Structures are given as structure tokens and as C-alpha cells.
Amino acid sequence: MDEEIKLIQAKVNDIISRPSSWFFNWGIIVTFSTLALLVLVSFVIPYREQLSCKVIFNTRHELYAVKSPATGIIKNLTLNPKDKIENGRQLLVIQEYPSGKMIPLRAVVSGYYSRSKNEPQVNDRVHQHEILFNIAPDITDDNELYAVGYLDKFEISKLTIGNPVSLTVEEYNKQIEISGYISSISNYPAGSHRKYPFYIALNKKDIAYLQKSKAFYFNMSADARINYKNQKIARKVFDFLY
């Protein structure tokens, strides 16, 4: 009798210890459903390819070269690159050599500071007709301000006109996010680095903000992020595998 009871208990324990078939079936269904959902989502969610580089703000106007009126030393510098330059404003004073005469230099056009070679400093020695810096004429039309960047042949081949661009400007303790799009791409390299230039048109509202905030000057750099390709995650995985 005891042996029969022990045998029955052993069979019961064995049955209890086994997962039921419905549990296995349900687990398989859930697993395959999850995998199918992930595959489906991978064909729907876009993946963005992105390039990053430095770009420079510029203007379509010709820059006005501010030249030293005499040979001497800069004694008084009232120029502030952050401020808009008004016509007639005194920019600096040069002590002429050897007479010692103080000669003021005033702006003859309105616009924005644009660096030439080196930013002028007090006590710098300058020569007559030497270009100290440039003045970029005032912006009167939205298309006059743009940004230009340079990429090598492989990177430039990835871009197309109309690619969206995000720009981050960090100047004078300000971080500004503006946006635009690629307006043109050069087929020929430029400069000593032999890289290919591309041009970025800026949104009108961002141009207006930059003008009002006085947070920029011409030839100022910005960090650009270019979204040049949108593709699905699944395609990205396939490209990686093959």
C-alpha cells in the first residue's frame, strides 16, 4: 500500500513539474509575434545618415577693406567686433611714425566686422595702406547672407541640393541653433586644401534673428550637421551585413 502511494505521488510530482503544453505554445506565439513586430518596425522607422563639419558665414556683397592711413602704432581701439559698424564711427587711432601725430580712422560704410588676417590690437605696428580688417555691408535682402563649408570628394558625393542643415553658433557666450538647406554644390575643389565647397541658404527668420541679436560677425564659424540620407533601419542593417 505504501509503495503504491509513493508511486502515485511520484507520478503527480512529475506531472506538476512539467510545464503544460499551452504554456509552451503561448511562449512560442509571443516570441514570434515580438520578432515579427520588430521586423515590421525596422521597415518603418527612418534612419538618418549625417555629416558634420565647420562652415563660415559670408555675404554676397564685396567686402570693404579698411586700410591704415599711415605707418605707425595703433594707440586707441574703439572697434568692437560684436557691434554693428555705423558710417562715420571712429574705429581706431594711429600714432604716425615718426611725427607722432594722432590720426583717427573712421568707417565710411555701415556694416559688420569681418576679420582679415589678424585682429588689430592696441600697440600693433601697421604700415600705410595695410588692410587691417574688412567691413561686410549691411544686410538688406535675405539672400545676401549664407554659409559655406568644404568637404573632400568622397563626402561631397553624398550630398544633394536641398539636404537640410542644422547649424550651431557659439559666440560671445551664446549658443544659437539655426537651420537651412544646401543651395549649391561645387564640382571643382578650391583652396590649398583642395576640398569641394558647398553653400547653405539660411531661413529668413534665422537671418532676422542674427541681425537683431548682434550675435555674429562675417567669417564667423559654426558647426553644421547635414542630414544627407533617410533610409529605414532594416535597410541599414542589410547594408551592414552585405
One-letter amino acid at 135 equals: I
CA distance 201 to 207: 10
* Residue 122 pLDDT exceeds 80: yes
Q: How many residues does the chain have?
A: 242
What pLDDT is attached to residue 234? 43
CA distance 221 to 147: 9
> Taking every pair of C-alpha atoms in the chain, what is the biggest distance, in angstroms?
131
What pLDDT is attached to residue 197? 92
Q: Which CATH superfamily is 48-60+141-241 part of? A: Efflux pump adaptor protein, beta barrel domain (2.40.30.170)
Complete DSSP assignment for 199-242:
EEEEPHHHHHHHHHHT---BT-EEEEEEEEEEEEHHHHHHHHH-
Helix (H), strand (E), coil (C) string for 118-140: CCCCCCCEECCCCEEEEEEECCC
pLDDT in tens, 21-39: 545 555 666 676 676 666 5
pLDDT in tens, 133-151: 888 776 666 566 788 999 9
Does the domain formed by 64-137 have CATH 3.40.50.720? no
pLDDT in tens, 168-221: 887 656 677 888 899 999 988 887 778 999 999 888 777 777 766 555 556 678
pTM above 0.95, yes or no: no
CA distance 183 to 203: 12
